[in-house]
Chain A
Amino acid sequence: MTWEVGENLVKSILEKAPYAEGKVRRERRLEFKVPAERIREFLMIMKEHNFPLMLQITAVDWPKEGEIELVYHLMNIELGTHAMVKTRIPRDLDKAKMPTVRDLYPAAETYERDVHDFFGVYFEGNEKMEMPWILDDPEQGLYPHRKDFDMLGYVKKKYKILDRFDENKDRYVI
């Protein structure tokens, strides 16, 4: 795929989805930004444009902005083009909700469970939303890939190294 084919593809997709932003990052790499509530609609359009393979759903936590960014990675097999569909949702636990895309891309079920496990994003409509990887451990808190997850929480509590933490030096003094 040359640069032109990619630009035509982006143009044709954006004609059907005027609410989205899109660009060609480099050859064979496309990027779209979509509002969270229209993600299903947009992925349906992507499917019409021959993106049948969902590679993964990734999330990135941005605590300063109070948002979690979800990235859907899709692959066009014929053109060998990879597309990232990015969307942002608030990171508060009661608001971090997304509609599921399991019926459009059944492979998404596992990835949605994965994101739910590590980031606490709830996918409405996904029936298999139980936590496959993480055990509920209230001592450590939930959702370990969030940036505010207390990595040393359990160790601090068990081994009482909390009092050795020097806040001025921002490290443990032994």
Chain B
Amino acid sequence: MVTQEELIREARENGMELFPIDKDTYELFFGPQHMATENFSIILKMDGNRVVKAIANPGFLHRGFEKLAEFRPWYTNIALLLRICVPESDVPEAIYSMAVDEIIGWEVPERAQWIRTVVLEMARVSAYLFWIMGLSFKLGVYTAGQWAAAYRERFMRLFEELTGARVYHIYTIPGGVRRDIPGDKWLRQLRDTVEYVKSKLPDFDNLVFENYITYRRMEGIGVMDKKFALREGVTGPNLRATGVAYDVRKDDPYLLYSELDFEVPTMKEGDALARALVRRYEIEQDLYILEQLLEMGPPSGPYKVEDPRLKNLPRFKVPAGDAFAHVESTKGDFGAYVVSDGGNKPYRVHVRGPSIAHGIRVLEQLLVGARIADVPVILMSLDNCPPDIDR
């Protein structure tokens, strides 16, 4: 039988040594199979219970999206790019479509803008529910996690009825949306779902967000301040938890957001608990936005641009130019830079995932000094989406 010492020696002989040999510290490979790391791998240098150094290793989950996009016609790219962020797949669709709209100079019809806004907000709520599920599993509150998964299912069903797919919707396309809303029944169902989820939020408060255990596990852990967050390019709820009220929906409004009334919740502490609470308040705001949109009702008119170019999609061409579009996702500021050389394929697509800032440098710095039990909590409070790190 091979002993552990022999294994370690063999690994070191094969160049596996990551940190200099030290009597007091040891290496710990945390994840990706570990349930608490969300298919994310971190290599830790531990001194007893404390992390001395961390190396984030996002790995190769998906590869080559940006290169693949250069070899596919403009429209088929949507089915590829939306795979960048799995829980919130409508965001990459939206940014790509908005950038292409800008290059062509299309004015998207009002009805399509309304539908796009509804879809983005639905995606936000369901992504936050997905995050609550992850967080409560990490904290050991399994009941809340199962509730969140069940409520998310309601949104998935609505998505299925609207787009024909549960996870990857392929719905927002350049020039509008792929098809119209199924009818008034769907709107009624959406209204019911919004009311239902809203009525269930106090349960989450009782079980997760006002729980003594949550406070003990998350308070004062993984603290970052305003300056650090801006310096490292942190965006989204993570930035808002440090006191900066930067929200793309408010500061650089797109679609219908300039007409809607909502608040941007901020907190000053900048620790894991603040990040969690900011997300909790955001769900409320998102549901409020959905209510307003439903009250507004879908404007009449076409749901996509009427353009003869749309009749032959494989030969569909976009004039030369470049554009940058970004939206506020639950992970942060999600942007796409699209360049066209006038052909029927994009010349270059670059997607700016927010997790590339949160998942590598910020995570490595926040983990230093943390206890090993805090590692999954910090990881979860940053809400990384590993696939958008290695597009």
Contact = CB atoms under 8 A, between A and B. Distances in A.
Interface string B228-244: 00111101000000001
Interface string A40-79: 0000000000001111101011000000000101010101
B324 A110 contact: no
A147 to B, nearest CB: 8
Interface stretch (A16-24, A87-95, A101-109, A163-171): A101-109
Interface stretch (B166-174, B179-187, B344-352, B369-377): B344-352
Contacts of A106: 231-232, 361
Nearest to B335: A55
B360 interface: yes
Given A55-B233, A145-B67, A77 B244 contact: yes
B233 A54 contact: yes
B229 to A, nearest CB: 9
A80 B252 contact: yes
A115 to B, nearest CB: 10
B356 interface: yes
Contacts of A61: 348
B295 interface: no
How big is the B interface, by class?
20 to 34
Contacts of B235: 53, 55
Contact of B324 (A60, A77, A82): A82
Given A53-B233, A109-B361, A60 B348 contact: yes
B333 interface: yes
Contacts of B357: 107, 110
B251 interface: yes
Contacts of A145: 66-67, 348
Contacts of B324: 29, 73, 82, 84
A102 to B, nearest CB: 11
Interface in B90-116: 102
A28 interface: yes
Contacts of B339: 60
Contacts of A149: 67
Contact count band on A: 20 to 34
A56 B353 CA distance: 9
B63 to A, nearest CB: 8
Contacts of A107: 231-233, 357, 361
B204 interface: no
Given A53-B230, A80-B252, A144-B64, A110 B361 contact: yes
A145 B337 CA distance: 15
Contact of A105 (B67, B233, B246, B248): B233
A159 interface: no
Contacts of B263: none
A71 B337 contact: yes
B390 interface: yes
Nearest to B64: A144
B207 to A, nearest CB: 35
B326 interface: yes
Contacts of A26: 102
Given A82-B326, A110-B360, A56 B251 contact: no
Interface in A121-161: 133, 144-145, 149, 151
A28 B335 contact: no
Contacts of A82: 252, 324, 326
A77 B235 CA distance: 11
Nearest to A79: B251
Contact of B337 (A28, A53, A58): A58
A124 to B, nearest CB: 20
B225 to A, nearest CB: 14
B40 to A, nearest CB: 15
Contacts of A105: 231, 233
Contact of A144 (B67, B102, B232, B361): B67
19 contacts: A26-B102, A29-B324, A52-B230, A54-B233, A55-B233, A55-B333, A55-B335, A56-B337, A58-B348, A60-B347, A77-B230, A80-B251, A106-B231, A106-B361, A114-B356, A133-B60, A144-B64, A144-B67, A151-B67
Those 8 A-B pairs whose CB atoms lie nearest each other, nearest first? A107-B233, A80-B251, A80-B252, A56-B352, A58-B350, A77-B246, A52-B230, A60-B348
Interface of A: 26, 28-29, 52-56, 58, 60-61, 71, 73, 75, 77, 79-82, 84, 105-107, 109-111, 114, 133, 144-145, 149, 151
